[in-house]
Amino acid sequence: MPHSRRYRSSERSSRGSYHERYRSRKHKRRRTRSRSSSSERDRRHRREDSYHVRSRSYDDHSADRRAYDRRYCDSYRRNDYSRERGDAYYEPDYRHSYEYRRSRDREGSYRSCKSSRRKHRRRRRRSRSFSRSSSQRSRQSSRRAKSVEDDDEGHLIYRVGDWLQERYEIISTLGEGTFGRVVQCMDHRRGGARVALKIIKNVEKYKEAARLEINVLEKINEKDPENTNLCVRMFDWFDYHGHMCISFELLGLSTFDFLKDNNYLPYPIHQVRHMAFQVCQAVKFLHDNKLTHTDLKPENILFVNSDYELSYNLEKKRDERSVKSTAIRVVDFGSATFDHEHHSTIVSTRHYRAPEVILELGWSQPCDVWSIGCIIFEYYVGFTLFQTHDNREHLAMMERILGPIPSRMVRKTRKQKYFYHGRLDWDENTSAGRYVRENCKPLRRYLTSEAEDHHRLFDLIESMLEYEPSKRVTLAEALKHPFFDMLGMEPSTKMWDSSRDISR
């Protein structure tokens, strides 16, 4: 995991320290209760780490259930939208009660300095014994402290209509992941603009990942103040009772969710062209600034507006959707890594993981290019190119689709257990071998048309799925590929004015 040195701004540290003092002084009851169950929660999160509900699938599972079963694919990639879990919620006036009591404490300490120690002790005994109003205030304060609560998994418990920071009014829940939840809010300091607020779980590893993401997003805002490079724009961030919260521009569905809702109907090739060009442009901007995204996938590419037109397919007897605008944004920079930082051994979600990552040969920006090649293929055919959870099977699929793994990579890898005498140790006569043989085929056999445009697309995909990272096409070269020559000639492609604030 990248080092935490990235999070070093003096302004952030002062803000963080204020919230730490605020929480430690006034939320001892709640924190003690959460610590009492911390061991159980840690065990639960260790189990979660092995299988991250498709948002961080860094695991190697067996392929007992076959990925080409759509029901299995849905359950693996699902994004549960859980709403209003639990009845407890924070009270907006809690902060005011805290300020009031703090001022009373200061006043009391000033008076006590003028009195004798004996009188001070008598006053304290009387107040403990007879002061009903003070005991009522303490009980009221305790209730208010308990009202800002987390559930068993560390999610903030909230309800629609609640306010955060006296600024963000929660309107609805947009989604949930292992990191936390995303809610739609009305930002009352921006004229009631609708924003997406990412509320991170009150769990240290997710909070640390959020701090790293904030650091990357601040660098992106600094390098691209006009928001022309198609990376999601961060408006604000803050710590709310142990939950890191990040405010973003409000976007539409992810390109995967739209595909799923459309019965996995592939995108038309002119839409694939525009979406692919934008992804290359956005990720090239990251690479130019010495960043690697490391977790590119259709779930992390969102439409700016996912409104669609509906038509009826007489042949298949079903409604089919066509997105009106293919303008996109790249999101989720929680795993983004600068060139000078520590590079984790395993990165990327399984289906989009480059061979150099699987073979632990070291990785850099070319691993993003491999992921983009897999994404473009998925847009074109409607399903994932490498649907597996096992390293050996993944390598076997690569060889079936792209040809043999280069001998230099085989010799250099520490993962010699996957090879025998310089070749992949794979038995095609097993059930797994038959599965790969029956469900995978050479890349060009996935063409749905023999038109020149389609062959150009697959030429681009082939150059992105080159085994050797040093031979893989760069994104600067990819943007000049002949497949993109027709981009400006297609009237149905709606280009997007990136500088426009779409949240209002």
On whether residue 63 sits in a domain, the answer given is no
146 is in an annotated binding site: no
The CATH number for 199's domain is 3.30.200.20
Q: Residue 12 has which token pair?
A: 């952030």
Pair (417, 455) in one structural domain: yes
Residues 6+ apart with CB under 8 A from 215: 6, 7, 9
Q: Are residues 290 and 390 in the same domain?
A: yes
Do 377 and 342 lie in one domain? The reply is yes
Local structure of residue 313 (DSSP, 8 states): E
For residue range 221-278, what is the model confidence (pLDDT) as tens digits? 999 999 899 999 999 999 999 999 999 999 999 999 999 999 999 999 999 999 999 9
DSSP state of 391: H
Rounded-to-integer distance, Cα 259 and Cα 142, Å: 48
Asked whether residue 240 falls in the same domain as residue 326, the answer is no
Residues facing residue 170 across a β-bridge: 185
CA dist., res. 76 & res. 227, Å (int): 33
457 within domain boundaries: yes
Same domain (yes/no): 310, 170: no
SS3 58: coil
CATH of the domain at 459: 1.10.510.10
Boundary-marking domain end, from 248, 274, 296: 248
Angle value at C-alpha 218, between 213 and 223, nearest 5 degrees: 125
Residue-level pLDDT at 491: 54
Query: Could you tell me if 302 and 329 lie in one domain?
Result: yes
Say what the pLDDT of residue 488 is: 76
23 token code pair? 């929480």
With respect to residue 115, please indicate whether it lies within any of the assigned structural domains: no
Number of residues in the chain: 504
Q: With respect to residue 7, please indicate whether it lies within any of the assigned structural domains.
A: no
Last residue of a domain, one of 189, 222, 248: 248
Query: What does the block give as tokens for 381?
Result: 């055919």
The count of structural domains within the chain is: 2
Q: For residues 329 and 278, is the Cβ–Cβ distance under 8 A?
A: no
Q: Which of 218, 248, 278 is the last residue of a domain?
A: 248
Q: Which of 445, 426, 336, 343 is nearest to 388 (CA)?
A: 426
Same domain, 218 and 286: no
Q: Is residue 459 part of a domain?
A: yes
Do 163 and 288 fall within a single domain?
A: no
- Residues in the chain, pLDDT under 70: 1-147, 490-504
| Catalytic sites, residue numbers | 295
Answer yes or no: is 305 within a domain: yes
314: three-class secondary structure by DSSP: coil
Residue 24 inside a domain? The answer is: no
Q: Are residues 241 and 261 in the same domain?
A: no
3-class SS of residue 177: coil
Please tell me the predicted confidence (pLDDT) of residue 140.
Answer: 41
Dihedral angle sign, alpha carbons of residues 450, 456, 457, 462:
positive
pTM for this predicted structure = 0.71
pLDDT at 121: 56
Query: Does residue 312 sit in the same domain as residue 456?
Result: yes
Q: Do residues 183 and 171 lie in contact, with contact meaning Cβ atoms separated by under 8 Å?
A: yes
Please report where in the chains the tokens 């930002």 appear, as a residue: 187
What is residue 150's predicted lDDT score, i.e. its pLDDT? 86
Q: Which domain holds residue 201?
A: 151-248
Residues 157 and 278 in one domain: no
The answer to whether position 422 is within a domain reads yes
Kindly state whether residues 271 and 236 are assigned to the same domain: no
